[in-house]
Amino acid sequence: MLIIFVSIFTAKTQTCAHSVELRDSYGDGWNGGTLTITVNGSAVLTNITIADGAGPEVYYFDAATGDDIDADYTAGSWSSENEYIVKDGGGSVLGQSGQGGITPVDILNMVGNCPACPPPTGQTETNITTTTADLGWTTGGATTWDIEWGPENFVQGTGTTITGTNSNPYPLTGLTAATPYDWYVRDDCGGDVSDWTGPHTFTSACDAITTFPYTENFDGTWVGTPAAPQCWTVINANSDSYFWSRANTYITPTHSPLYAAHGMGNTNDYLITPQLDLTGLNTRILWWDKVESATRINSYRVLVSTTTPEIASFTDDLGIYNCANTAWTEHLLDLSAYNGQTIYVAFYQFASAATNYGFGIDDVTFEEIPACPAPTALATTNITTTTADLGWTENGISNTWNIEWKAGSDFTPGTGASDGSTTVSPTPSHSLSSLTDGTTYYWYVQADCGGDVSSWTGPVAFNTLPANDLCANAEVVTCGSSVDGTTLGATFDNVGTCGTINTAPGVWYKLEVDGSFKDFTVSTCDAADFDTKISVFSGDCDNLVCVGGNDDGLGCSGYTSELTVTTDLFQPKTYYILVHGFSTNQGNFNLSVTCTEPYPVPLSNWAIYLGIFLIGTFMVFHFVRRRLA
C-alpha cells in the first residue's frame, strides 16, 4: 500500500512597523479619549492616548502587506480637539480623522503595506555632550544604514552624509555646544534603500558658564519640552498642566520687559540654571520676584546641586521665599561657599495659592561679589502728604550711604540731575520731608565703603498721599470747575458700594449747591489714564449717604466715567465726590463739574405790591413784582 503524506506549510508573511500619530489641537491631552488599533481582528495597541500636551505622540505596531487594520476611537471630553493619522510601513497615510476640529471617527478596513525596504523607526539620542551624541533607531530590517545631519531646519541634501554605517547607535562627533541639530536615517537593504526617517531634533549640551556677570532675563526663545531658556531646564515633576513658562500674564510690566519666568499654578516644578563654574570666584545670585495679589502667595525654594541637574542632586537648600509682594522685589544670596566648584541652581516652586493669579521671577544674575556691594531691598514706608521713610539692606561692611531723589521723573544719579541728595550714617535709613503732596518721587542709594563706592541701586518710586486723600480733606469744586487729580499714592476708602463697587484707592472732592440748578454732572470722560469710577454722596464725612455712582460713562473711552445728579428744588446741600478706580487701578485724571438747567423761579418766590393812585377822576392800579430770594 502506498501512503502519500502531504504536508501543508503556511509561510509567515513578512511584517514591518506601521505607525499611528496622535495630536491635540488645544494642547491639553485627549481628556479621556482613547484609540485602539487592531490588525486582522486582534488588538495590537489598546487605549492609547495623549495624557497631556499637544503631541504628536507616535505609536508603532507590526502589520504585513494586505493585513486588515482598524482604528477604534472612543471620545472623552473636548473630543473635537483630538486627531490621529495611521501610516503604513513606508510612511504613507492609510487613514486620518479629527483634522479641522471635527470629532474623530473609527476608520475600518485599512490595508497594511510593507515596502521592499522598510524605513527605520524610533529615533533616539543619548549620551549628549557639548561635541558628541549617540544616534539610535529601530531598523526596518537592514543592518546597514545611511545618516544625514546638520543644523536645525537644514534642507535635506545639503547636510553631512554618513553612508553605509553598521553602527547602531552611531557615535556622532564634531558638534558645537548649545546648538540644535536635525538628523535623518534610512535602511540600506543592499540594492535598494528605504525612505528617509526624520528629521529628529536634539540640542548639544551647553558649556559651563565661566564668564560673569551672567544674566538670564527670560525674554529669548524657550526651547525643548517643557520649553526652557537656552541651556536651562524646566522639570514638571508632577506632570500637571502648570509649569515654569515664558509669560507676563497679570504681572506686566515685567522687571525687564517683555517676559519673566512665570510660575502661576506651579506646585512641584523646577527651573534650573546651566552649569556654573565658580572656580576661583566668590559669587552671588540676585533676582527679582512679584505676585499679582498679596493674598495669593506663591512659595519657592532656592536649591543648589554640586553634581548634576537631576532633581535628587539638589541637596543644598538656601532658603524659602514666600512671594506676597505686588511690586518687583530684589533678592540676593551669597554663593562664596561654592568657590572652586561647578554648581546648578534651581528655583523649586512648591506652592501657588491660585491658578489664575500671576507670579514670576525675572532677571536672574550671577556675579562676582564686588569689593563694595550695592545695597538691596530698598523700601519706602510711612508715606504721608509731605514725608516718607527710606530704608535698605547693607550687603557689606559700609555704614555710610549716599541718597539722591527727584520728583516727577526718573533720573541718572551722580549726574547732578536730582532734586535733592544727602549722606546718611550709621543706620541704613533716612526720612524725607518737605515733599509735595500727590507727587511721584524716585530715589537711589549707594554704599560708601571708604575709598570705594558701590554702584547705585534704584530707582524706587513712591507717591506721596494726595492732599484730598481723606473725605475730611476733600478739595472744594464749584460749577464749571475743571481740576487735575491723581489717585496714585492714595489710600483705600471703605465706603462699600455706591452705584459701583469700591475696590481701589480714591480721592475726594466737595461740591456745595444752593438748589438753583436742576442737576450737575461730574466727569472724567476721556480725561484719565486709568479705568475710573465716580461715586457721589450727601451727608457728611462721618455719615455718608450714597446718591449714585458710575463705572463706565456712555460714550467715554478708556473706561472713564460720567455721572449726572439731580438736585433738590431750592434746597442747599453738600455733595462729596469720590474718584476711584476699577479693580485696583490707579492713575491721573481731570475732573470736570458742570451745572445745567436752572430751575424756573416759581410764583411763590415773588411778592406783589398793589399801589392805588388817583389821577383826576380816574383810579390807577400799579403792580410791582419783586423777587424775594
Mind listing the pLDDT tens digit for each residue in 137-184?
999 989 999 999 999 999 999 999 999 999 999 999 999 999 999 999
Q: What does the pLDDT average to over 563-591? A: 93
Contact 120, 185 (CB under 8 A): yes
Please give the full DSSP string across 435-451, using - where no structure is assigned.
Answer: PPTT-EEEEEEEEB-SS
Of 201, 242, 431, 449, the C-alpha closest to 354 is 242
Of 48, 68, 62, the C-alpha closest to 109 is 68
Of 445, 277, 278, 293, the C-alpha closest to 376 is 445
Residues 6+ apart with CB under 8 A from 451: none
Contact 447, 375 (CB under 8 A): yes
Q: What does the pLDDT average to over 612-618? A: 44
Of 377, 304, 376, the C-alpha closest to 337 is 304
pLDDT of residue 14: 82
Residues 6+ apart with CB under 8 A from 588: 484, 485, 486, 488, 528, 529, 530
pLDDT of residue 623: 43
Residue 613 has pLDDT above 60, yes or no: no
Residue 330 has pLDDT above 80, yes or no: yes
Contact 510, 604 (CB under 8 A): no
pLDDT of residue 518: 86
Cell reading at 210:
565661566
Largest CA distance in the chain: 178
Could you name the CATH architecture of 471-598?
Answer: Sandwich (2.60)
Distance CA 399, CA 418 (A): 23
Looking at residue 473, what DSSP letter applies?
G
Which residues are paired to 340 by β-bridges? none
Distance CA 530, CA 275 (A): 44
Confidence class of residue 568 from pLDDT cuts 50, 70 and 90? confident
The three-class DSSP label of residue 559 is helix
Comparing 214-368 with 471-598, is the CATH topology the same?
yes
Residue 133 has pLDDT above 60, yes or no: yes
Mind listing the pLDDT tens digit for each residue in 58-88?
999 999 999 999 999 999 999 999 999 999 9
Cell reading at 178:
548649545
Q: Where are the beta strands (DSSP E) in 526-572?
A: 532-540, 543-550, 562-566
Angle 321-323-326 (CA atoms, 0-180°, nearest 5)? 155
- Segments making up each domain of the chain, as ranges: 15-111, 121-203, 214-368, 376-460, 471-598
pLDDT of residue 596: 85
Distance CA 449, CA 193 (A): 74
Backbone angles phi and psi of 471, in degrees to 5: -55, -40
Contact 60, 122 (CB under 8 A): yes
**Fold of the domain built from segment(s) 121-203:** Immunoglobulin-like (2.60.40)
pLDDT of residue 37: 98
Residue 462 has pLDDT above 60, yes or no: yes
Residue 13 has pLDDT above 90, yes or no: no
What sign has the CA pseudo-torsion 211, 216, 219, 221?
positive
pLDDT of residue 599: 58
Residue 602 has pLDDT above 60, yes or no: no
What predicted TM-score, i.e. pTM, was given to this entire model?
A: 0.64
pLDDT of residue 626: 39
Distance CA 187, CA 173 (A): 21
**Grid-cell match 500636551, residue found:** 53
Residues 6+ apart with CB under 8 A from 36: 43, 45, 46, 47, 48, 71, 72, 74
**Grid-cell match 544674575, residue found:** 365
Cell reading at 622:
400799579
Mind listing the pLDDT tens digit for each residue in 371-386?
999 999 899 999 999 9
The three-class DSSP label of residue 604 is helix
Residue 1 has pLDDT above 60, yes or no: no
Confidence class of residue 235 from pLDDT cuts 50, 70 and 90? very high
Least confidently predicted of 72-86, 570-584, 605-619: 605-619
Could you name the CATH architecture of 376-460?
Answer: Sandwich (2.60)
Residue 615 has pLDDT above 50, yes or no: no
Of 67, 135, 66, 60, the C-alpha closest to 91 is 60
pLDDT of residue 227: 95
**Fold of the domain built from segment(s) 214-368:** Jelly Rolls (2.60.120)
Cell reading at 359:
507670579
Q: Please state, rounded to an integer, the average pLDDT across all residues of the chain.
A: 91
Confidence class of residue 52 from pLDDT cuts 50, 70 and 90? confident
What sign has the CA pseudo-torsion 367, 373, 374, 377?
positive
Residue 9 has pLDDT above 50, yes or no: no
Which residue type is seen at 539? G
Residue 601 has pLDDT above 70, yes or no: no
Could you tell me which residue, 11 or 220, shows the higher pLDDT? 220
Could you tell me which residue, 316 or 16, shows the higher pLDDT? 316
pLDDT of residue 423: 97
